[in-house]
A and B are shown apart, each in its own frame.
Chain A
């Protein structure tokens, strides 16, 4: 049992500590592992030769370099429907990408990690970066329509560059071919002796620019910028993974302590014999500590292997979240877990054996615990409950061994907390996605360009044509006249400036009430009149304003005061934005036309038929109506987080149930004598199972009752921490995700974990024959 507990605990500890380790500066470790590029520089190949670029490797301060690599920018397209069954049919043109020509992935700087498939080896092959906005499925065809002959490239692999040096890679000769054999751009990757600060990097860049002369250095990006961007993303997930990792480590320690102390405590009779034979208390302690350490060592070895195997898929998920790469479980984690497990086992055995070694010989020989009369009162009371006797006998058992029962309760508490947290997190993430999409509308019509979110792309991947004021009037009329229209609003967008803020701020002007469309409020309220506006958290931080403040927007010199009445949850890429009623800026931007319409249909309306009818009316304008609802959960990140949450939760449930299992096994073994008596008095196998299951019922309920609030507390701490790391406040709909029926079910989860853990001992107890247990006892 000790060995099994060690396997379970070490596995959980390896996973837990690996998560904690992975969550410590993930970018820095991945960057070091890949010999990341401190400076990724682009050069104009018409102004500098390859030989000159190679010579830059010897510049003062440069400690390593790779390149020059030919680069080309292309605009690929894919056939939707063939490779993206979820997208609308037709050809979709993707964003321009930078393709770098590299003959191999493992260069001295930016040692790429090949994640799937293989490296390029023939013409027409391409490896895409996992961080690029490109289809990553092996075999995907990318067509380069903008090049003569529209060459088709086949994706043969995916790779990750922590330094984000390219969107895709091809053989150098292929890149030259795509450049019509006139390479205009070359890439060099550098590592510098001093690269810790932006000042260092500026100096390095200046030295490089001076070395190549003129305007040959056309662009560069520093690893510090990449680090900042990656850290901003990873910070979102660190609290989440730290929470799971910590739970795993705590539970592993709990399992080991329970089993070791229980196993030593169960050997009282044997200890009595040893003492009767002349063993001193010190000798008893040494014997039992040694006895506990031998199976532990075996369990540790097996646990390290199991932990490494199970960590594989977990690390794959964390890599996806962190945008990093790992080479498996860090040997330091293995060493720490092995030493830690041995120490915990030794200390637990020492404490239990010390207590047992001090027992009087006669008490030990009789197998009597120091407090043998514990639980009598509970047994007496349980016997008076109007319950079947097998149930009441089981209910009283936890009170006879309060320490062991407490450890079982703790195991269930942590298991239930993990489930509660995981379910809350999953619900919250879906709420985040729903709030991000704010697409409660049933139907939408785009008139120009694309808005953030799922709107705004034509059937062939191109933006719809722009519509004039008359066209807008026709659209409004068509929507209003359409049978089944419940309500609608339109959005216009334009740029404004704010004196205290660099760059521009996008102003979204709404015609009609849009409060129903799914925008979630972090605080305050949705705007209801001209002059009021809502803004995202990032805006409030950047402008150092808060709800109730008034701020001026400038439209080509014309100031428009707005009063901030709410903090809206809208964490997409465009974070500097203001959402207000169209009438607020009607004077300052009189020619502004809506570029998007959202429509809600009446209940019972056939949306497809509605879209067909509305589409027919919009056809003369070259527009179409498209369905917008039900796009929740489409984020790859959230899908990865959901999968990781499910895997980690399952693992913690298993560890929790094994914690209960080990304690119930010890309890059943200690009670073998009583069990034999019960069976000899006519207790049926079913009644025996009932008794064992009943013995963990109170434990499960207490664990559920304590674990559920603990899980909610962890959720309450971790979610805001995740939001804070990402620089966004979270709306109530994201934080308050637990409903009464769910809470009841979650409390029941504790009972389920306890029953799960008791299942094997119950089966064993029901099959055991009384003559065997009485003889063995």
Chain B
């Protein structure tokens, strides 16, 4: 894959000096977070953890352990019933709907387990969508999307519809879309869950490249082997609680 250097760079528009603090400051600070659903089921119970800038962290655990819920809370897609989630200095758990949307646009990129590509849009329109929603001109968004697709080896698939792509290609399109607005944080929910072994390896290499380019990664997976191989640190969840974790900023 052609990994164009300027394309996968991490950037945070709101804090131009963020790069200087990357290694030492905490990008994600989760403090005593609980999430209980209306039916009484507890998804997360008093979870606390930190992720520093530039880290590549895997959250692992069996189904129902609360790892996807934790990712949703970091992404501002859901709210905790107790505790707080702070990302890049922003208390995500206290954001309203509009502020939450703006936060997702500017600060994070999400790669979903089932890719969540829009079937009626072409690959390039899918990738460009986050920038277009932010008000970026069509031309500028297309230029950036083309760069990303090129760097991810999808230049020749730009006008295809998602239904015509392989699983690995869809995952790469989802990654390109997540990187579109140059987020400070990239979240991935079971990025290999729907892929065959060849595609899994491809995604693993892609995530490693992104990390190498300086991106902060939080990956939710039940695949511990994948986590061990492609991330710096693993946080283990079971029944909504952290049952094992290496300290923030530590490396394997």
The answer to whether A binds B is yes
- CB-based contact A681/B120 at 8 Å: no
Assembly CA distance A45 to B101 (angstroms): 92
The reply on A771 being an interface residue by CB < 8 A is: yes
Q: Out of B72, B102, B116, B133, which one reaches A390, CB within 8 Å?
A: B133
* A369-388 at interface with B (beta carbon < 8 Å): 372-373, 375-376, 379-380, 383-384, 386, 388
Assembly CA distance A383 to B102 (angstroms): 22
Q: Out of B102, B119, B129, B130, which one reaches A684, CB within 8 Å?
A: B102
* A661-707 at interface with B (beta carbon < 8 Å): 673-674, 676-687
Chain A proximity of B50: nearest CB distance (Å):
23
- CB-based contact A685/B98 at 8 Å: yes
Chain B residues with Cβ below 8 Å from A388 are: 132, 135
The reply on A767 being an interface residue by CB < 8 A is: yes
- CB-based contact B104/A682 at 8 Å: yes
Chain A residues with Cβ below 8 Å from B120 are: 375-376, 379, 396, 400
**How big is chain B's contact interface, by range?**
20 to 34
Chain B residues with Cβ below 8 Å from A376 are: 120, 161
Q: Out of B77, B98, B138, which one reaches A686, CB within 8 Å?
A: B98
Assembly CA distance A682 to B110 (angstroms): 10
Chain A residues with Cβ below 8 Å from B125 are: 379-380, 383
Chain B proximity of A635: nearest CB distance (Å):
55
Q: Out of A380, A676, A677, A680, which one reaches B122, CB within 8 Å?
A: A380
- CB-based contact B133/A683 at 8 Å: yes
Assembly CA distance A767 to B98 (angstroms): 10
- CB-based contact B129/A372 at 8 Å: no
The reply on A632 being an interface residue by CB < 8 A is: no
The reply on B217 being an interface residue by CB < 8 A is: no
Chain B residues with Cβ below 8 Å from A379 are: 120-121, 125
The reply on A769 being an interface residue by CB < 8 A is: yes
The reply on B90 being an interface residue by CB < 8 A is: no
Assembly CA distance A389 to B112 (angstroms): 22
- CB-based contact A389/B161 at 8 Å: no
* B98-125 at interface with A (beta carbon < 8 Å): 98, 101-102, 104-106, 110, 112, 116-122, 125
The reply on B134 being an interface residue by CB < 8 A is: yes
- CB-based contact A687/B78 at 8 Å: no
**How big is chain A's contact interface, by range?**
20 to 34
Chain A residues with Cβ below 8 Å from B170 are: none
- CB-based contact A769/B78 at 8 Å: yes
- CB-based contact B116/A682 at 8 Å: no
The reply on B177 being an interface residue by CB < 8 A is: yes
Assembly CA distance A680 to B134 (angstroms): 13
The reply on A224 being an interface residue by CB < 8 A is: no
Assembly CA distance A400 to B119 (angstroms): 11
Q: Out of A390, A684, A771, which one reaches B98, CB within 8 Å?
A: A684
- CB-based contact B98/A770 at 8 Å: no
- CB-based contact B118/A677 at 8 Å: yes
The reply on B97 being an interface residue by CB < 8 A is: yes
- CB-based contact B132/A389 at 8 Å: yes
Chain A proximity of B152: nearest CB distance (Å):
18
- CB-based contact A679/B101 at 8 Å: yes
Assembly CA distance A113 to B112 (angstroms): 72
Assembly CA distance A683 to B161 (angstroms): 22
Chain A residues with Cβ below 8 Å from B112 are: 677, 680, 774
Chain B proximity of A209: nearest CB distance (Å):
85
Assembly CA distance A684 to B102 (angstroms): 7
Assembly CA distance A684 to B100 (angstroms): 8
Assembly CA distance A769 to B75 (angstroms): 12
Chain B residues with Cβ below 8 Å from A677 are: 112, 116-118
Chain A residues with Cβ below 8 Å from B181 are: 682
Chain A proximity of B173: nearest CB distance (Å):
13
Assembly CA distance A678 to B126 (angstroms): 10
Assembly CA distance A766 to B96 (angstroms): 12
- CB-based contact B133/A771 at 8 Å: no
Q: Which 8 A-B pairs have the closest CB atoms?
A: A682-B105, A389-B132, A771-B77, A684-B101, A682-B104, A771-B78, A379-B120, A677-B116
Chain A residues packing against B (C-beta within 8 Å): 372-373, 375-376, 379-380, 383-384, 386, 388-390, 396, 400, 673-674, 676-687, 766-767, 769-771, 774
